[in-house]
A and B are shown apart, each in its own frame.
Chain A
Amino acid sequence: MEAATVAAPVAPVRQHPSIWTQAPELARRSIMRTLRQPAAVIPATTFPLILLAINAVGLESATALPGFPTDSYVTFALAFAFIQAGVFAVIGTGQNLAEDNRDGFFNRLQLTPIHPAALVAGQLAGTLALGLFQAATYLAVGLIAGAHIAAGFGGVLVMVALSIAISLAFGSVGLAVGMRVDAPEKVQSIFPLIFVFLFLSSMSLPRNLIQTDWFREIATYNPVSYMVEGLRSLLITGWDGEALALGFGCALGILAIGLIFASLGLKERMVRT
């Protein structure tokens, strides 16, 4: 073939894709992917409710302890359902990403002019959608079961906001993990570890009622305690600025750390030239 003269490479006529075009479509995919997998949504939503029911029945007598902040264990324990949902956010988000790695979908994305931030935001959108659905479910079930929300309707909105922040925080941890593995099973293997981390908090008892020193010490340093207590304050105390600030602060702190590690993982993973 003869090719004496050479034309300069001509780029295809397309507008440069912006993060604002890419992120909504990736978010749409993430949300649809989440909602079209009932096998992932239903256990993630019902398991915390089952635990709530068991605790409410089995630990109701704990309300008789001197200093226990409420006479309704359902009201006390409801906050923890939101945190447990966060555990499923870690697993779900991480597994989705690991599946993308394993199945080559990540390579498909890499072959497009994808903006890394759009990828992260898009992946978290599904987590956010699931978190919203779970928050609405837990609130509805809690209210039906007799839970009381001391902060009223405004408190409900703040609870939803805090629970979404918690879901995103845990979701970002899932992203950071999923970015580094290529098998969903590997993400699942961290489930017990996270669960232990959750239980070593003020989940079952207020910190001032925990008698074992080392347990109380760990619970005091465990950010999960403050996220639980932030939610719990709206249910039991009403408006407690300090508890809410700590709750949001811990959630946003974990989100920031998770996003930093997810971004580093993404940088390592996106080895394209």
Chain B
Amino acid sequence: MASSSNGTRIEANGIEVNGLVREFKGGVRAVDGIDLEVRPGEIYGFLGPNGAGKSTTVHMLTTLLPPTAGSARVAGYDVVKDGAAVRDAIGAALQEAALDPNLTARDHMRLQGALHGMSKADRTRRGDELIERVGLSDAAERKVGGYSGGMKRRLDLALALLHGPRVLFLDEPTTGLDIQSRTALWDEVAHLSRDDGMTVFLTTQYLEEADQLADHLGIIDHGKIVAEGTPEALKGEVGRPTVEVVPTDHAERDRAVELLRPFGELVPGTPQGAAVRLDDGSEELANIIRAFDQADVKVANLELHEASLNDVFLTKTGRSLEGAQREAAEEGETGEQPALEGAPA
């Protein structure tokens, strides 16, 4: 069993990556020596713009692509030496919801179950259970070609879960989905981790998704991990939250300023309000409300502004995530993107 760098040991359903590299034709390093650790039962968000190396990492961790250098253990198994055991322990919904448009959801379950060596009875029972769980019962006998993007993603997720994996890889599971489908999938992923104890490795280019779902987060850019930690810690690293209070009686603005002063550094706010960057984080919010209540200063509006993951990305890479996406798209147009994944160096 592998030991992690900080002395803890990775349990059977964690992930440990050390110095992982993947080089493609032309010497392009899509993944350039990354280290990461995913603890059992947590959701690890892997955030980065297009072309940052997220999918290449997933392909290596799911044994679909051999690493050029470095090592990785998934569910306790080495991804190079124990490929079959890794595949047995994981489920994966890759970037393309790879489904056969001519088959129904039940056909897919039947095929996937047979390939995993499940008995006919188990395939049917578990397949139906999962189809119901992802809300596709009514469409189970319809050809997948007529499904919406959200339905395809949900079926893809159900298929990844069919054989009872301990670690789940989701490569940009909500890209291209409407907000309703996206939220439904978030709920399901959160449920898998929190209620079923499944380890989830999720790549995304959406800040909100990473913020909402991930217990731990790795931010990748140009093949390197530029920041890692909990979303709260990462945001805390780059900036403390600010609170802005607007008193009901605007004449009391000066009193509001004095009431806020003990909680941190005063910062400019709206003309009617007072704002402070909190020394001790958002935990101080209750004390601020109490202070205004005790001073009998009525509050018309109180807003907490948290530092965002975009601030983190900006601090670590010198550009916003949106800017990085644009840059990646331009590189794609001018043919400067790395060689196609799957094309070995």
Contacts and interface: CB of A to CB of B under 8 A. Distances in A.
B115 A25 contact: yes
Nearest to A268: B344
B117 A32 contact: no
B88 A11 contact: yes
Given A9-B85, A21-B117, A111-B62, A36 B102 contact: yes
Interface residues of B, number: 54
Nearest to B143: A36
B330 interface: no
Nearest to B118: A14
B345 interface: no
Contact of A273 (B9, B80, B102): B80
Interface stretch (A64-72, A102-110, A200-208): A102-110
Interface string A1-41: 11110111111101111100110111011001100110000
B116 interface: yes
Contacts of B1: 6, 8
A108 B76 contact: no
A104 B12 contact: no
Contacts of A271: 64-66, 342, 344
Contacts of A2: 8
Given A110-B64, A273-B79, A4 B9 contact: yes
Contacts of B112: 108, 112
Contacts of B119: 15
A22 B278 CA distance: 61
B112 to A, nearest CB: 7
B229 interface: no
A6 B16 CA distance: 14
A14 B116 contact: yes
A257 interface: no
Contacts of A25: 110-111, 114-115
Interface stretch (B93-101, B127-135, B176-184, B296-304): B93-101
Given A6-B1, A111-B64, A113-B87, A15 B12 contact: no
Contacts of B83: 272-273
B12 A10 contact: yes
B157 interface: no
Interface string B205-237: 000000000000000000000000000000000
Contacts of A50: none
Interface string B114-150: 1111110000000000000000000000010000000
B243 interface: no
A18 B143 CA distance: 28
B80 A105 contact: no
B103 A105 contact: no
B11 A113 contact: no
Contacts of A22: 114-115
A129 to B, nearest CB: 14
Contact of B102 (A16, A37, A111): A37
B84 interface: yes
Given A25-B115, A26-B111, A9 B103 contact: no
A114 interface: yes
A139 B167 CA distance: 54
Contacts of B117: 14-18, 21, 113
A1 B42 CA distance: 10
A11 B89 contact: yes
A113 B342 contact: no
A37 B81 CA distance: 41
A107 B97 CA distance: 11
B98 A112 contact: no
A12 B163 contact: yes
Contacts of A8: 1, 12, 76
A130 to B, nearest CB: 14
Given A12-B164, A112-B116, A271-B65, A29 B98 contact: no
A204 to B, nearest CB: 37
Given A1-B39, A111-B92, A9 B115 contact: no
Interface in A80-131: 103-114
Given A113-B88, A113-B117, A273-B79, A3 B102 contact: no
Interface in B1-17: 1, 8-12
B77 interface: yes
B203 interface: no
Contacts of B166: 12
Contacts of B110: 25
A111 B87 contact: yes
B107 A32 contact: yes
Contacts of B87: 111-113, 272
B75 interface: yes
A36 B145 CA distance: 11
A3 B9 contact: yes
Given A3-B11, A111-B87, A113-B87, A103 B114 contact: no
Contacts of A107: 64, 94, 98
7 contacts: A7-B11, A29-B103, A107-B98, A108-B94, A108-B159, A111-B90, A271-B342
Given A25-B115, A26-B115, A113-B115, 12 more contacts: A3-B8, A3-B11, A7-B11, A9-B85, A25-B110, A37-B102, A107-B64, A111-B62, A111-B90, A113-B88, A271-B342, A272-B87
Interface of A: 1-4, 6-12, 14-18, 21-22, 24-26, 28-29, 32-33, 36-37, 103-114, 271-273
Give me the 6 closest cross-chain CB pairs, A-B, nearest first: A17-B117, A104-B98, A273-B83, A9-B76, A104-B96, A112-B115
